[in-house]
Amino acid sequence: MVEDTLIYIIFMLLGVGMTYIFMRNENSKQFKHLEAEAKAKASAIEYEAEHILHEAQVKIKEEEVLLDKKFQDKVLEVTKQTTELDLERKALRKKEKELFKSKKNIEKKENYLDTLEERKKIEIESLISLLSKCAGLTKEEAKKHLLEQVFEESKLEIALSVRKQEKIAEQEAKKRANYILSQAVTRYAGEFAGERLIHIVNLPSDDHKGRIIGKEGRNIKSLEQLLGVDIIVDDTPGVIIVSNFNLYRRAIATRTIELLIKDGRIHPGRIEQVHAKVKEEFEQKILEDGENIVVELGLFPMHEELMKLIGRMKYRASYGQNALAHTLEVAKLASIMAAEMGGDETLALRAGLLHDIGKALTQERGGNHVDLGVEVCRRYNEHPTVINAIYAHHGHEEPDGVESAAVCAADVLSATRPGARREVIESFVKRIKDIEVIALSKKGVIDAFAINAGREIRVFVDAGKIDDANVYLLSKEIAKEIENKIQYPGEIKVNVIREKREIQYAR
């Protein structure tokens, strides 16, 4: 019995030992499997890290190349500007030397004239004394007699000398004036005409020029009359030129012509249809532009009419400076200054945006842009500070707060910075507008357009109110008033057109 028990215990111990050995082997296998899996994950992570590092290094090298290129471009630009400045300095030094030399010559001539004057006085005195002794005349009588004789003898010489000097001065003045004009035209004429007065319309082929002109000029006459612009069809291949001082009118005309060319149907009826459609599109676009600006600046809500006027300012220029660009510049500057001075940043931004809103109305209604701006802002219940800023930025009122003062300062900064404005174009546009206003003020006039850079005014009259006999009198009256009220170079052609049109519908 005891032996059986011992055998049983021995078998149990053997079983436990074998179980232990088996379990230890299983654990060892599992540990090796986990170790291998961990090593695989570590290798994957290491590979991914190396890939990311490589990509970062490539990106850094690309950015270094890009930055180096920008740096080289900037260096070239600065070098070019420096060279231009050096050339300008040399030209100025040359001019200074010429002026200094001219000044020295003038001084020498003045000194020589003074010497001659003194010598003349001495000779006259000696001659007077001699005459007094020889003729028994008093000193005063001899002096008077001698001066009369000298004057008579010198009159012809003086006249010839003056005429000669006038001729020389006129020739020199013409040379100098031509030089100045050539320099001015070379530097600025292209920019003035290209950016401020004309739009170029590209044509698919030169055949379209004939279609735009139409039979006996019917199409081009209809275009110019309806669009109120000057259309120039010359020998330049593949283009026509649309010219007018009014940016909005010119933009509509350009778009109308482009659509007509694309459509292919060009005749008076189609021209009127496309023009009406384009005008409607432009009105919608200027509203969208105004809305986008107001939303972008965070000034919503604002009345729809005010937003439309803001969009319209894109097609208005003041002293050659785009009115919308100037307005946005003033708004942002005023906002920054007001914030720095502890004022209402948003209110200053709004006042800056609306300070020149009246300029969007001056081309159509005429008058002072300050009064028009105040009128429209009051109509749509704008903040009193906005009203005050409109008045104050032209000195009509004193600024009543930080915001108005900031708008006034920002307006001066934007208008007077170098290159901001060109006063020549402003006076030109004002002259053109004044010519149109004179024609439109006459009874029976339907419309008037100043074309050909202001050298012609085309006036359309109501055939029912003005007969053929009165057309001549009206043209003389307009021409006379332009002569009396407008200052202009050369001459202005007054072209009065009387057209009778009847429209009936066959149903």
- pLDDT tens for each residue of 124-182: 677 666 655 655 556 566 666 666 666 555 544 554 555 566 567 666 766 654 443 34
Helix, strand, coil: what percent of the chain each, to 5?
Answer: 75, 5, 15
Instruction: Give residue-wise pLDDT tens across range 365-386.
Output: 767 788 888 888 989 888 888 8
- What whole-number percentage of the chain has pLDDT above 70? 80
Token pair 């100098």 in the structure block, residue: 176
Pair type for strands 456-462 and 239-243:
unpaired
Q: Would you say residue 191 has pLDDT above 60?
A: no
Q: Count the helices and strands in the chain (H runs, E runs).
A: 16, 8
Of 202-211, 278-287, 324-333, 422-431, the one with minimum mean pLDDT is 422-431
CB 478 within 8 A of CB 461: no
- DSSP symbol at 217: G
Question: Angle formed by the axes of helices 468-485 and 423-440, to 10°?
Answer: 150
Q: Which of 49-58, 199-208, 348-357 has the lowest mean pLDDT?
A: 199-208
Q: How many residues does the chain have?
A: 507
DSSP 221-237: HHHHHHH-SEEE--SST
Q: Rounded to whole angstroms, how far apart are CA atoms 391 and 385?
A: 10
Cα end-to-end span (Å), the chain: 135
Residues paired with 198 in a beta bridge:
243
pLDDT bracket for residue 394 (50, 70, 90):
confident
Whether residue 335 is predicted with pLDDT greater than 50 in this model: the reply is: yes
| Average of per-residue pLDDT across 433-449 | 89
Q: Which two tokens stand for residue 451?
A: 């074309």
Q: What is the pLDDT of residues 83-98, one digit of tens each?
A: 887 787 788 788 777 8
pLDDT at 489: 60
Q: What is the pLDDT of residues 197-237, one digit of tens each?
A: 677 778 888 777 787 788 888 878 877 877 878 788 877 78
Q: CA 246 to CA 144: how far, in whole Å?
A: 68
Average pLDDT over residues 433-441: 89
Supply the pLDDT for residue 188.
31
User: How confident is the prediction for the chain on average, in pLDDT?
Assistant: 77
pTM over 0.85: no
Diameter of the chain by CA atoms?
196
* Sequence-separated (6 or more) residues with CB below 8 Å from residue 414: 321, 326, 329, 330, 333, 420
Separation of alpha carbons 318 and 322, rounded Å: 6
Are 284 and 259 in contact by the 8 Å Cβ rule? The answer is no
